[in-house]
Structure 1
Amino acid sequence: MKIDDIIRKCIEMPGISIKRSDFSTELLLKEKEGKGSMTFFPLFPGVTIAYIFVNSPTWTAPNFREDSSIEKGPMLLNYCVTGRCEIILNNENFVYVKDGEISLTERFAQKQYVYPRRIYEGMEFFIDIDTLTAQSVWVQGEFDINFHKVVDRFCPDGATYISPATSEVEEILTKLWSLFDVSIPFSISQMKIYTLALFSLLQNQNDIPPSQACTFFTETQVDIAKRVEKIITSDLRQHHPAWELAAQFSVSETSLKNYFRGVFGQNISIYLREVRMKKAAELLATTKLSVAEISEQVGYSNQGKFAAVFKKQFGLSPLEYRRSKNLENG
C-alpha cells in the first residue's frame, strides 16, 4: 500500500483533517480526548518519514483489512522519542515501545494507535518496497541498500522487532529528529542523507540486539491494567490500595502491579502521583481555588505534604507556580 493511499484512508476517519504544503502533508487530530499531528515528508518514491506529536490516549486508525485478514503493509520503522506506544502482535498479544526504542514491522495497527501515557512524540518511516523497486532502483543501487534484507533481518516470518536503539542508530535518529524545526528545503536534503545512512546501518549491523517483543501481555492483562488506571484516576480524592484492586480483579497484587507497569511504564504510585500533580497544576493555572482546596481535590489531606510533592515535581511551590502562570497569561 502506497503512502498516498494510507493518508487518503486516514482523512476518512472522524476528527482527522489535512493540511498540505509544497514539501509535506500534515494530518491533524482534534477530538474531545486530545489532539495531535503527523507530518509526512516524502523523501524518495517509496520512502516517507513522518514526525508525530500526540497529546491523546488514542488515534483511530483506518481499516486496512481485506477479506477479514490483516493486510501486510509497508515496512514501518518507529522511533519513540517521548511517551509510550502500544503494538498488537500477530498472536494478538500486546507489547509497548517506549523512550529511545525502535520497532520494525510490516503490520498495521488494529483499530487505533494507543498511547497509554496520553502523550507521544516520535518518528515513523514508511518503506513501500514495491514502489522503491520500481521507481527508486538508483537509491538501492547507488547506496547498496537492500530493503528486503532489512526486513528479513529484523522481521523474519512477519515478526515485530522492538529494542532500544543502539548508540550508532540513535545518533542518526537524533539528527533526523532535530531536522523537524530546520528550514525547508534544506532539511529535506538532510533527511534524505540521514535516512539512507540509517537503513544502510541497519542492513549492515553485525550484532542485532535481541527483540523485546517477547515480553508481551495478553488482552486480559492489558484490560485489567487499563481498568485499574480508570479507577484510580476517575476521582483523585479517593485512595485505592493495590491489594484492594487486585482482589477486585481476582489476581495477585504482584501480578496487578506487573500488568500496570507493563502497560503504563510506571509503578501505580508514581503514575498516580504524576496525574495528581498535573491536575493540581491545571487547577492552579485555571481556577481561583485555594491551595488547600486543590490539595484536597487531588487526594492530599496534608497541605504541607502536597506542597512538598508539587515543588519536587515542578520546581516551584503551588503559589509560585500560580503566580508564574498569571504572569504568562498577562
Structure 2
Amino acid sequence: MKIDDILKKCIEIPGISIKSSETSTELLFKSTSGKGSMTFYSLFPGFNLAYIFVNSPIWPAPDFHENGSNATGPLLFNYCVTGRCEIVLNNGNYVYLKDNDLSFTEHFAQSQYQYPRHIYEGLEFFIDLTTIANENTWLLREFGIDFHQIVKHYCPEESTYISPAPTEAETILKKLWELFDLPDPVAVTQMKIYSLALFSYLQNLDNLPPSQACTFFTETQVDIAKQVEKIITSDLRQHHPAWELAARFSVSETSLKNYFRGVYGQNISVYLREIRLKKAAELFASTKLSVSEVAEQVGYMNQSKFAAVFKKQYGQTPLEYRRSIHLKQG
C-alpha cells in the first residue's frame, strides 16, 4: 500500500488534517482528549519516514479491513523514543512498545493507536515492498538491502517482532531522531544516509534478540488494567487499596499489579502519584486555591507531605512553582 493512499484515508477521519511542504507532509490530530502530529518524509519511492509526537491516549486509524481487504499493509518499523504504545497481535493478545524498543510488523492498528501513558514520541518507517522492488533495485545492487529478506527475518508467518534496540541500531536511530530539528534540505539527505545504514545493519544482524511479543497480555487482562486506571484517576481525592480493586475484579492482588504494570509500565502507586502531582501543577497554574486546598483536591491529607513530594517532582515548593508559572504567563 502506497503512503499517499494511507494519508488520504487518514484525513477522512474527523479531527485529522494535513499540511504539506516542499519536503514533508504533516498529519495533525486534535480532539478533546489531546493532540499530536506525524511528519512524513519520502526518502525513496516506497520508503517513508515519519516523526511522531503524541499527547493523547489515542490516535484514530483508518479501517484497512473494509470490503474484505487484506489486513496486512506495508512493512512498518517503529522505534519508541519515549512513552508507551499498545500493539495488538494477530491472535488478539496485547504487547507494549516502550522507551528504546523497536518493532517490525505488517499489520496496521485495528481501529486506533493507543498510548496508555497519554504521550508517545518515536520514529516510524512505512515501506511499500512492491514499490521498493520495482523502483529501487539499486538498494539491493549497491547496498545489498533486501526488504523481503528483512520481512522473513523479523516477521515470519506474519508475526510481530519487538525487542530493545541493539546498541548499534540505537546509535543510528538517535542520530535520525536528532535530524528533525535541522533545516529540511540538510536533514533529508542525512535521513537517507542513516536509514540505509540502519536497515543494512538490521538485515545483517547476527544473534537476533528474541522477540518480546511472547510476553503478552490478554484482552481481559488489559481491560482490567484500564478499568483500574479509570477508577483510581476519576476522583483523585479517593484512595483505592490494591486488595480492594483486586477483589472487585475477582483476581489476586499480585495479578492485578502485574496487569497494570504491563499496560502502563509503572506500579499503581507510582502512576497515581505522577497523575496527582500533574493535576496539582495544573491547579496551581490555573486557580487561586491554597496549597492545602490543592493538596486535598489531589488526595493528600497531609500538606507537609504533599509539599515535600511536589518539590521532589518539580524541584520547587508549591508556592515557588506557582510564582514561576505566573511570571512566565506575564
Which category describes the TM-score, using the shorter chain as reference length?
over 0.9
Q: What are the superposed Cα offsets for residues 168-201 of structure 1, whole Å, 9 maximum, x if unpaired?
A: 0000000000000001101000000000000000
CA separation in 1, counterparts of 2:140 and 2:310? 53
CA separation in 2, counterparts of 1:327 and 1:139? 54
Aligned to 2:176: 176
Q: 5+ unaligned residues in a row in structure 1: which ranges?
A: none
- What secondary structure sits across from 1:185 in the alignment? helix
Cα RMSD for the two superposed structures:
0.8
Q: Which stretch of the first structure deviates more once superposed, 132-141 or 285-294?
A: 132-141
CA separation in 1, counterparts of 2:150 and 2:50? 19
Give the deviation of 1:281 after TM superposition: 0.5
Give the deviation of 1:140 after TM superposition: 2.5
CA separation in 2, counterparts of 1:244 and 1:78? 38
Aligned to 1:327: 327
CA separation in 2, counterparts of 1:106 and 1:184? 29
- What secondary structure sits across from 2:213 in the alignment? coil
Q: Judge conservation of contact 2:78–2:103 (CA < 8 Å) in 1.
A: yes
- What secondary structure sits across from 1:104 in the alignment? strand
Residue correspondence of structure 1 range 126-205 to structure 2 within 5 A:
126-205=126-205
CA separation in 2, counterparts of 1:318 and 1:152? 55
TM-score under structure 2 length normalisation: 0.99
CA separation in 2, counterparts of 1:219 and 1:298? 31
Q: Given the alignment of the two structures, is residue 52 of structure 1 paired with residue 43 of structure 2, yes or no?
A: no
Aligned to 2:275: 275
Aligned to 1:287: 287
CA separation in 2, counterparts of 1:315 and 1:139? 50
- Runs of 4+ residues over 6 Å off in structure 1: none
Give the deviation of 1:70 after TM superposition: 4.9
CA separation in 2, counterparts of 1:261 and 1:153? 30
Aligned to 1:17: 17
Q: What are the superposed Cα offsets for residues 31-69 of structure 1, whole Å, 9 maximum, x if unpaired?
A: 000000000000000100000000000011000004456
Q: 5+ unaligned residues in a row in structure 2: which ranges?
A: none
Amino acid at match of 2:73: G
Aligned to 2:105: 105
Q: What are the superposed Cα offsets for residues 126-184 of structure 1, whole Å, 9 maximum, x if unpaired?
A: 11110011111112221110111111111111010000001000000000000000011
CA separation in 1, counterparts of 2:140 and 2:108? 25
- What secondary structure sits across from 1:213 in the alignment? helix
- What secondary structure sits across from 1:285 in the alignment? helix
Aligned to 1:225: 225
Aligned to 2:239: 239
Aligned to 2:313: 313
Q: Which stretch of the first structure deviates more once superposed, 78-87 or 132-141?
A: 132-141
Q: Judge conservation of contact 2:139–2:146 (CA < 8 Å) in 1.
A: no
CA separation in 2, counterparts of 1:181 and 1:52? 13
Amino acid at match of 2:115: Y
Amino acid at match of 1:135: E
CA separation in 2, counterparts of 1:184 and 1:228? 44
Aligned to 2:87: 87
Amino acid at match of 1:71: A
Aligned to 2:38: 38
Residue correspondence of structure 1 range 118-133 to structure 2 within 5 A:
118-133=118-133
Q: What are the superposed Cα offsets for residues 72-113 of structure 1, whole Å, 9 maximum, x if unpaired?
A: 101100000010000000000000000000010001100000
